[in-house]
Structure 1
Amino acid sequence: MFKSIIIVVILGLNALINFASANDLDEILASTIRSDENKARDKARHPKETIEFFGTKPTDHVLEMWPGEGWYSEILAPYVKEKGKFSAVTFATGNLNSQDKREAFWSKNALTYIEKMSDKDIYGDVNFFEFEPPKLMDLKGIAPVDVAYIVRTLHIWDEFGAFAQGLQLIHDVLKPGGILAIVQHRGNAISQNASSAGEGYLDERYVIETAERNGFKLVERSEVNLNMKDTKDYPKGVYALPPVLAMGNTDREKYIGIGESDRMTLKFIKVVN
């Protein structure tokens, strides 16, 4: 029995060591460090294809804005751990006692994320910063970065009227020629001149035009995160779909069958005048 326990511990340590030194995306994605739940979402989120589309390299300084629980962080941080650098910009951490339930939830989320990502053996020396419009609009102190990831977040910035300003702040911390990597829930295009964007969704043209007005140039689009089943007309918007399933048991199987949202995947380059 004791021999079995020792073998399991040794195997676990070996897996951790291999993962901690890996800069191969396949190894990281398959690692036992990632939960089965997170791995199950790979089919919908296409992390390897998305990261490769953005041209992210193990030597890059990667910045992730509002990483949530760290689904992408637990891939990107180990990927650049040995030769690059990883920085994360979380929600404000000082609002645990706020009367605003969303602010309090976001602070709890940020603190949980920071605790998780502070494991240097797995993720390296992660740099943490805070950003929460409209009160906290400052990215000072972040060293110039090669690529900034914004994944499924822009609709909230837009809700606060901070979309353009947030992009300007990211522009300031990117190196000349740096990459702005956007993955965002995509609203329906009705015609060349109109679109419909429900809760959580944004019009792709609006995102592109806003980025290009704030110092970026669109380099390429990818349909790697396309989902043709997503009709984008649900009572609770994108939150009706997995993983949130905000409709509860109402039409649950329908929403599970649709899968995660249809997403635009846009690669921009920082323009320097």
Structure 2
Amino acid sequence: MVSQRILCLAMALSLSGPSQVLLASTAWAAEAPECAASAPLDTRIEAVLAKTDRPETQRANDALRLSETRFVLDHIKPGDHVLDMGAGGGYASYLLSAAVCTGSVDSQNPPKWVEAFKMEPARQALTAARPNVHLVTSDFAKLPPPAAPYDAIFIGTVYHDTYNEDGHDAVAMDKALLAALKPGGLVILTDHRTVDGAGASATNTLHRIDKAQVLSDFKAAGFELVEDSDVLANPADDHSKNVFDPAIRGHTDRMALVFRRPL
């Protein structure tokens, strides 16, 4: 007997419209073991990383980024609508799109980034491979309201970059994120730490930010802190170095925080 999975694949191949492809892909995801509500985190991570449609340059970073992947996906569930903020070339967007299964991901980048780093080919490849990913091109402070509220927002080592936009107002931006979330929705944030007390003084020089500054911003915007993990901490990091310095790149001392919109 022909399985439902094969029928779904045949439908995706025979129908040309993107909506039909998305329908087939979500039907497949609904049956995948890693998409079950009871699927263990290890099963979900293994399945997400096993997807062969991701660029090889991204797959080569999986081992280095595994701790962050575990931290993020532990707060994402099948069916979620997620914003990947400052998504760059889409490393996290690929992972999130598989982790949400029948859900969806908005992959956002500022227009200056898209132009300066020639991101558009990689972004188009992302949406071609993953029909449940939608591209958002906007400044951080001008994120369009989502069609439906987000279950989660991921800000992966780019919160400091928001400070480098002209006229940045951190609390105003974070209040907009609060409004874009469902009640109980989460902001999952990682970023490179400065020395304590540095505030936002090194966001454009070292690409780091003081954890106390981040905590203060989100508290002022109305969020609740629900997790402050040391899973990405590295006390041996030289906090005076730029995060792109070859001596420390990929091994910086990073905060790992989860904020929640109150119910």
Preserved CA contact (<8 Å) 2:45 2:70: no
State the partner residue of 1:123.
Answer: 130
State the partner residue of 2:6.
Answer: none
State the partner residue of 1:244.
Answer: none
1:105 aligns with 2:116: yes
What amino acid is the match of 2:51? S
What amino acid is the match of 1:117? L
What amino acid is the match of 1:104? E
1:59-78 aligned at under 5 Å gives the runs: 59-78=79-98
Q: CA deviation at 1:133?
A: 5.1
Preserved CA contact (<8 Å) 1:44 1:225: no
Structure 2: where are the runs of 5+ without partners? 1-12, 14-24, 36-43
Give distance in 2, aligned partners of 1:165 and 1:130: 19
Give distance in 2, aligned partners of 1:40 and 1:155: 25
1:49 aligns with 2:70: yes
Q: Any idea what the Cα deviations from partners look like across 1:110-169, whole Å, max 9, x if unmatched? A: x234302222xx4233222222156xx142244201000011111111122243232122
Select the residue among 192, 208, 217 that pairs with 2:215. 208
State the partner residue of 1:27.
Answer: 47
What amino acid is the match of 1:71? Y
1:226 aligns with 2:233: yes
Give distance in 2, aligned partners of 1:30 and 1:56: 18
Task: Give the percent of matched residue pairs that are identical in Structure 1 and Structure 2.
Answer: 25
Structure 2 CA distance for partners of 1:60 and 1:103, relative to 1, 3 Å: closer
Give the number of equivalent residue pairs. 219
Structure 1: where are the runs of 5+ without partners? 1-12, 96-101, 242-254
1:39 aligns with 2:30: no
What amino acid is the match of 1:91? P
Preserved CA contact (<8 Å) 2:194 2:210: yes
Under a length normalisation based on structure 1, what TM-score does the superposition of the two structures give? 0.71
Runs of 4+ in structure 1 deviating by more than 6 angstroms, as ranges, are none
1:118 partner SS: helix
1:239 aligns with 2:250: no
2:88 partner SS: coil
Q: Any idea what the Cα deviations from partners look like across 1:84-118, whole Å, max 9, x if unmatched? A: 221222222xx6xxxxxx67315x32x23430222
1:265 aligns with 2:256: yes
Give distance in 1, aligned partners of 2:138 and 2:46: 31
Under a length normalisation based on structure 2, what TM-score does the superposition of the two structures give? 0.73
Preserved CA contact (<8 Å) 1:146 1:175: yes
